Amino acid sequence: MRHLIDPLDFTLEETERLLILADKIAQDPAAYQEVARHKKLATLFYEPSTRTRLSFEAAMLNLGGSVLGFSSADASSAAKGESVADTIRVISCYADIAAMRHPKEGAPLRAAHYSRIPVINAGDGGHQHPTQTLTDLLTIRRRKGRLGGLTIGLCGDLKFGRTVHSLIMSLARCKGIRFVLISPEELRVPDYIITETLRPNGIPYEEIRSLERAMPSLDILYMTRVQRERFFNEEDYIRLKDSYILTAEKMKLAKPDMAVLHPLPRVNEIALNVDSDPRAAYFEQAQNGVYVRMALIMTLLGLEK
């Protein structure tokens, strides 16, 4: 039995195989509609979510399975003080696989230690979000035809953005990757990403403040929102929330085939007039999330098609 807690739990080769399966599903979803018949997915969401929770549910339903679970801690026995360990022990009696989102870093890992079913980390605090990373990788692969040999710009909240951390760690295994890290000083990427991932692997990176200066060199621009829920101080959030806004005017600086990704939800960091640009890939990215999660569920449950 395997879990997906960290994006590096799968080797690069295993990740490639999963992305190939996701691509096959995308080309013919109907062919997979009975693969997980009689299987149950438990969605254990201790923190609000729209896209991640619904895409997991859509993925399991698309495979012919069923879904149970809760969408907030208040709707679970956590409100009565039940531990994550006890919750997953109980859920293991009811479901075949579980997806967990939790505000505390490491909670899904702890659940995996006590679980009798595969556990998928659907986001733990500001730490990791491996299924979003798989979604990002599939979108990049489908847009660019490869994962290596690309210049990736990551813009906005690089400190608390768990999607950013997971994506850097995964792409760092691909050849010819270069990162441009665009953020205010207060929201720069954590030091451990640089000291444990970028420098040891000899991956070129640049930390800059100007989005406009970065645009011409990028193959991928990954925008993020400044997350109010990660701040302890409302004044800091208000001061930084509009640090970077991508507009149609700024898009004129980019390559004709650059792709813009965003894990969503957006607030105002991407202007509405960018949506009609063919380089805007973020709603396509949301659709890819369903295909990736279908492939992941099949992989962890050992279901073949």
d(CA 151, CA 160): 22
Known catalytic residue at 40? no
In residues, how long is the chain?
305
CA 170 to centroid of chain Cα atoms? 11
User: Which is the catalytic residue, given 38, 80, 175, 252?
Assistant: 80
Known catalytic residue at 101? yes
Helix residue ranges, H only, the chain: 12-27, 51-62, 84-94, 107-114, 130-144, 162-171, 191-193, 211-214, 234-240, 248-251, 282-301
Q: 228, 160 in Cβ contact below 8 A? A: no
Please report the sign of the dihedral spanned by the C-alpha atoms of residue 231, residue 235, residue 236, residue 238: positive
154-181 in b/e form (b: 16+ CB < 10 A) is bbbbbbbbbbbbbbbbbbbbbeebbbbb
Known catalytic residue at 110? no
User: Which is the catalytic residue, given 3, 39, 40, 101?
Assistant: 101
Planar angle of CA 86, 89, 71, nearest 5 degrees: 75
102: closest CA among 133, 125, 127? 125
User: Which is the catalytic residue, given 52, 131, 139, 299?
Assistant: 52
d(CA 249, CA 261): 17
d(CA 143, CA 145): 6
User: Which is the catalytic residue, given 2, 17, 24, 51?
Assistant: 51
Half-sphere exposure of 146 (CA within 13 A, CB side): 11
Q: Please, what's the largest Cα pairwise distance for the chain? A: 55
User: Which is the catalytic residue, given 40, 110, 129, 293?
Assistant: 129
- Catalytic residue positions? 51-52, 80, 101, 129
